[in-house]
Amino acid sequence: MDSEETALGGDGWGEFAERAKELIGSGELEKYEEDLERETVTHFRMAQEALETGTADFADLVASGLVNDLVFFINKRKFSNWMKEFPEDASEALRNVWTKDHLPVDRRIRRFCKGFPWKIISGAGTRTNLVSVLLMGVDVELFPPFKIGLSNEVYELTGYSSPEPRANEVDLYQHYLGFLDQFLEESHPQGVSLRHRLDAQFLIWRAFDKEDPFNLPRLDSTQPPLSDLHQKDWKEFAQLTDELFESGLLEEIEIEPKLEVGRSFAKARKAVLDDAEEWLGLTKAAVKAAEKEKLVFNMSQTKFYDWIVSSQEEALRALKAIWNEDDLQVDQRIDAFCEQFPKEVVGGGAGTRVSVAAQLLMGLNASDYPPFAKKRFENAYKSTGYDLPNRNAVESELYAHFLGFLDRFIKEAQGHGVNLRHRLEAHVVVWLLDEEDTLPKLGSQSPDPETLQELADELILSTDFLERIYTLLNDKRQVIFQGPPGTGKTYVAQALANCLAGKKDRVTLVQFHPSYTYEDFVRGFRPTLKDGKAGFELQDGPLLRVAEKAVNDRDSRHFLIIDEVNRGNLAKVFGELYFLLEYRDKKIRMQYQQEGEDDFTLPENLYIIGTMNTADRSIALVDLALRRRFYFVEFLPDEDPVKSVLARWLDKRAPELAWVAKVVEEANKLMEDDRHAAIGPSYFMKETLKEEDIPRIWKHSVLPYIEERLFGDDNKISRFHLKTLREKVAPQVLGVDNDNQEEEDAKNESDSVNSAAD
C-alpha cells in the first residue's frame, strides 16, 4: 500500500466507515461509554477518595469497578483477595497508578507492577489487562481497556506490527496505545469521526461481536506506531537518572563538592560584607576550591585570582556588588558585578565573565545558583530543542536564560517521574548526560504566562488550550486547526503566531486554492517585462522567503500560516516539502535549484500553522502523508473552548443578547448528525452588534449555510427558523413589540427555504 496516499474507502475502510456511522448514530457507542462511566470509572473515583481519606472500603470499591466484561472473574477475585489481605501494599500500588502527579503512563504502570506481586497474577498480558482497567480511573478516554488475546488478533487483521515476544506490561500497553492512535489518524480521512482512543477501542472490540460482527480495515503498514511525545527519550533518561542517584556517585562526586564550594564562598561573602581582615584569604581559598572543581576555565580562573590579589580595593567593590545584602534579583547582582569587573581581566566574551560571576553566586545558595559554562549548556539547549539565548545577550541575560532552562528541565523531569530537588541537581544531571547524548527533548521555552493569559483573555479561550497548541508546535513545528466555518481558526492562528513571534513581520499568511501550485508556494518561473520584452524569471515563493527570514534571524520564531490548506492540490503544492516536514534536520535538492546553490532545509525556528474547513468536502482528499506530519487541533462549536466563546463574548459586550448564544447552541444540537458542519460563533461577534442585526445575519449568513448542508431536506431546514429556535430557548425575551418582527423573520426564512427547494 502506498504510504503517501490512502484511497478513500480502500483496504476495507468503506465497509468499516458505514458500520461505524451506524453504531455511532444508533447511540450504541454513547451507551457503552456511559456504562463504563457508571459501572467502572465512578467506583474508581470513589476508591480514590477512600484512599485519600484513609477509609477501609477502598478494596470493595475497586472490586466493584472490575466488571467481568473487562477483567476475567478469576483474576478479579485474586486481586480483590490480595487487596484485603495486604491493604497497605494494595493502597500504595493503587496510589502509584492513580497519582495526581503529571506522570506518563509508563511510569504509572511500572510503579504499580513493582508493588503488585507476580505470584498473585502472572503473565505480562494478564497483568496489563488489569492495570489498563485501573488506568481508566485516571482518564478513560486517554487510557481505554486492553485485552491481550483480542489485541493480538486485531494487530494481525489490520496489518499492524505485533509487540516483541518478551514485551513487559509497559511495552504491551504503549504498543496498544500506538495502535489506537494510528487507527484514529487513519479513520478521519475516511469520514469516521472518532474523538479519542476510547471511541476507537469500542468500534474495534464491537467488530468481534458474535451476533453482529464486521471486518476491520487494513492500516498503513509503513507508518510507524505513534506514542506519547518523546516517551522513548524520557524513558531512557529516567532509567539513567535513577541509576545515577541509586549508585550514590552523583551525590558524592558531583553535588556535595559543589555545595562545599558554595559554603566556601558563603564564608568569604560574610567576611567581605563585614569588612573583616580575613576576606582576602577566604576569597582566595574559595576561588581555589572552585578551580579544583573546574567550574571556570583554568586560564580565566587564574587571571581572576591574580586580579583579586593585585587589585584588592577594586575586587572588594565588585564582590560587595554581587554579594550585596539587599534583596536584589540575580540579574541585578550580575550587572552590578560586571560594572566593577574590568573586561580585560579575563578577556573573552560575556560567557566567560558570567561563569566567573556564577561561581560567586554560589555563595548565596549553590542549590539555587549553580555554576555556568556557556558552550556546555549551548550544547544542552540544542540537544533538548530549547531555544538558544540571543546572540547579543549580556552576562545577566545569559545566566537568566540558563536558570530558565534548568527550571523547565526540573518541571518536565518531575512530570516524567524524575524528582530533581533543585537547580544544582538538574545542572549536574544535564552536564553528565549531555556527554552521553541522552538528554530528552524539551522544546522551546514557554512564552511568558502573563502574555498567554492576556492573549487567552483577548480571544476568550482558555490558557490551557493555547498552551496545548504551543506544546504541539514545539514538538512537530507544524499544526493544523480544523473545524467548521466561523470558529475563528484563522483569527486564532494569526493572533497566536503574532504573540509567539513577537513581531508581525515574522508572520506570513498564504491561502491555498485549487489553482495554487508548487511554483506559487515554493519557487517557479514568473512572467516578467524588461525593456518592453516579455520573459520569465525564477522567483522564490512565500515558503522560501519566510525560510530565508528565519535563517537570518535564528534567535526569533517565524510563522507561516496556510489558510484553507485542504483547498489546494497538496501533493502538487508541497512537493519535496513533504519530506522536510518530517525530517527538519535533513537537506533536499529542490525542483528549481540553481547551480551552486545549497540544498534546502526547513529551519528549526520556522513554525507552520494550517487551517482546514471540515465542512468543505475537499477535506476527504487530505492524504495520510500530510496528516502524519501535522498535529491536528479541533475547533468544534459544540465542544469547549469554542462552545462557550459566543456566550462569554456576549456577556461582556451585549449581555441583553445572551439568548443568541442559546439559539446557536440549540441549532447545533439539530446538526448533531454533522457536528463538523456546526455553526461557529464568529457570525455574531461584531463590535457593533445590535438586536436588529440578528435576523439579518441569520437570514443571509447562517441559514444559507444550513440550507447547503441539508439540501433537499425541507422538513429539517424548517426547524432552523430563528423564531422557532428563539421561542424554544429564550421565550421570556420575546415581547409583544417583537411579534411583528419575528413573524416577518419567519416569513423571510420560509421563503428562503422554499426557494432552496425550487
Among 684, 637, 673, 666, residue whose Cα is nearest residue 731: 666
- pLDDT number for residue 264: 96
The span from the CA of 550 to the CA of 4, in Å, is 28
Q: Is 373 within a domain?
A: yes
**Residue 400 predicted with pLDDT over 70:** yes
Q: Is 605 within a domain?
A: yes
- Residue partners of 310: CB distance under 8 A and separation at least 6: none
Burial label for 536, CB within 10 Å (0-12, 13-18, 19+), is exposed
Task: Report helix, strand or coil for 480.
Answer: strand
Q: What is the DSSP string of 304-344?
A: HHHHHHH-HHHHHHHHHHHS-SS---HHHHHHHHHHHS-TT
Looking at per-residue pLDDT, the higher value among 359 and 224 belongs to: 359
- pLDDT number for residue 307: 96
**Residue 282 predicted with pLDDT over 70:** yes
pLDDT tens-place string over residues 516-543:
999 999 988 888 888 888 888 888 899 9
Among 597, 748, 706, 624, residue whose Cα is nearest residue 221: 624
**Residue 134 predicted with pLDDT over 90:** yes
Least confident of 9-13, 261-265, 501-505, 579-583: 9-13
Same domain? 376 vs 507: no
- pLDDT number for residue 622: 60
Q: Is 443 within a domain?
A: no
Looking at per-residue pLDDT, the higher value among 452 and 695 belongs to: 695
User: Where does a domain end: 615, 634, 653?
Assistant: 634
The span from the CA of 194 to the CA of 20, in Å, is 9
Domain range for 327 is: 238-435
**Residue 619 predicted with pLDDT over 70:** no
72 confidence band (pLDDT: 50, 70, 90): confident
The span from the CA of 88 to the CA of 94, in Å, is 10
Span 382-386, mean pLDDT?
A: 77
544 confidence band (pLDDT: 50, 70, 90): very high
Same domain? 493 vs 608: yes
User: Where does a domain end: 593, 613, 634?
Assistant: 634
1 confidence band (pLDDT: 50, 70, 90): very low
Biggest CA-to-CA distance, the chain? 102
- pLDDT number for residue 734: 56
Least confident of 126-130, 187-191, 318-322: 187-191
User: Angle formed by the axes of helices 169-187 and 197-206, to 10°?
Assistant: 90
Q: Is 458 within a domain?
A: no
- Residue partners of 5: CB distance under 8 A and separation at least 6: 571, 623, 624, 625
Same domain? 218 vs 76: yes
- pLDDT number for residue 8: 40
Q: Number of folded domains in the chain?
A: 4
Same domain? 379 vs 262: yes
Span 334-346, mean pLDDT?
A: 93
Same domain? 365 vs 248: yes
**Residue 232 predicted with pLDDT over 70:** no
- Residue partners of 446: CB distance under 8 A and separation at least 6: 408, 467, 470
The span from the CA of 623 to the CA of 66, in Å, is 41
Q: What is the DSSP string of 487-529?
A: S-HHHHHHHHHHHHHSSGGGEEEEE--TT--HHHHTEEEEEEE
Phi, psi of 171 (to 5 degrees): -65, -40
Task: Quote the cell numbers at residue 459.
Answer: 480571544
Same domain? 255 vs 291: yes
Average pLDDT of the residues of the chain: 84
Same domain? 190 vs 271: no
Strand partners, 432: none
Same domain? 217 vs 248: no
Looking at per-residue pLDDT, the higher value among 182 and 166 belongs to: 182
- Residue partners of 566: CB distance under 8 A and separation at least 6: 512, 612, 613, 616, 618, 619, 621, 622
User: Where does a domain end: 435, 453, 485?
Assistant: 435
Span 433-444, mean pLDDT?
A: 66
Among 301, 267, 320, 279, residue whose Cα is nearest residue 371: 301
**Residue 305 predicted with pLDDT over 80:** yes
Q: What is the pTM of this model?
A: 0.47
291 confidence band (pLDDT: 50, 70, 90): very high
The span from the CA of 503 to the CA of 106, in Å, is 40
Percent of the chain with pLDDT over 70: 89
- Highest mean pLDDT among 213-222, 237-246, 426-435, 477-486 belongs to 477-486
Tell me which residue has cell 476495507: 12
Same domain? 507 vs 585: yes
User: Angle formed by the axes of helices 350-365 and 330-340, to 10°?
Assistant: 120
Contact between 348 and 337 under an 8 Å Cβ cutoff? The reply is no
494 confidence band (pLDDT: 50, 70, 90): very high
**Can you give the CATH number for the domain in which 603 is found?**
3.40.50.300
**Residue 739 predicted with pLDDT over 70:** no
Task: Quote the cell numbers at residue 180.
Answer: 489506537
Q: Is 302 within a domain?
A: yes
**Residue 322 predicted with pLDDT over 90:** yes
Q: Which amino acid is at 755?
A: S
437 confidence band (pLDDT: 50, 70, 90): low
- pLDDT number for residue 166: 67
Same domain? 630 vs 649: no
Same domain? 207 vs 255: no
Q: Is 450 within a domain?
A: no
Among 474, 479, 403, residue whose Cα is nearest residue 443: 474
Contact between 77 and 169 under an 8 Å Cβ cutoff? The reply is no
Q: Is 447 within a domain?
A: no
Same domain? 529 vs 675: no
Q: Is 536 within a domain?
A: yes
Span 29-42, mean pLDDT?
A: 89
224 confidence band (pLDDT: 50, 70, 90): very low
- pLDDT number for residue 90: 92
